[in-house]
Amino acid sequence: MDDWQGINLMKASSKWILQRVSAVIVAPLIVWFLISLITLSTADYSSVINFFSKPLFSSLTIILLIAGFFHAKIGLDEIFEDYIQDEKIKNIANLSTLLLSTIIPSITIILLLYKF
């Protein structure tokens, strides 16, 4: 095995580990978020606003957004690597994923922090 194969193997194993770590972070946060939304579905308006304005909700939601979009980006990059043969299309797909996985959580976090 030459040096480049070793480097590619290290990159692949790092991506694999990051994918698993992000999944472990996202899974309980998704459960918490869904339970919170289900619980709030029967609450009155002031209770909902009070819940959303708590720092704990903001912090956990920000962590969920960052980890979730990071997890999605790594997964999509692997799919693109495996199934798209044309390098130009693969690069465009990876760039699009990078932009969307950065812009969407950033705007959501700004609105979350600004609104509440």
Q: What is the pLDDT of residue 26?
A: 97
Q: Which runs of E-coded beta strand occur in the chain?
A: none
Phi, psi of 96, deg, nearest 5:
-60, -45
Q: What is the pLDDT of residue 1?
A: 54
Within a 10 A sphere around the Cβ of 29, how many other Cβ atoms?
A: 16
Q: What is the pLDDT of residue 45?
A: 92
Q: What is the pLDDT of residue 20?
A: 95
Q: What is the pLDDT of residue 4?
A: 61
Q: What is the pLDDT of residue 69?
A: 96
Domains contained in the chain, number: 1
Alpha carbon distances (Å) from 38 to 30, 43, 49, 90, 112: 12, 10, 15, 39, 19
Q: With a threshold of 0.85, does the pTM exceed it?
A: no
How confident is the chain (116 residues) per 10-residue block, as mean pLDDT?
A: 61 87 97 95 91 90 96 94 94 96 95 81
Q: What is the pLDDT of residue 14?
A: 87
Domain residues for the domain of 41 are 3-115
Residue 40's CATH number = 1.20.1300.10
Q: What is the pLDDT of residue 112?
A: 86
Q: What is the pLDDT of residue 8?
A: 66
| Secondary structure element (H or E) that encloses residue 97, with its range | helix 87-115
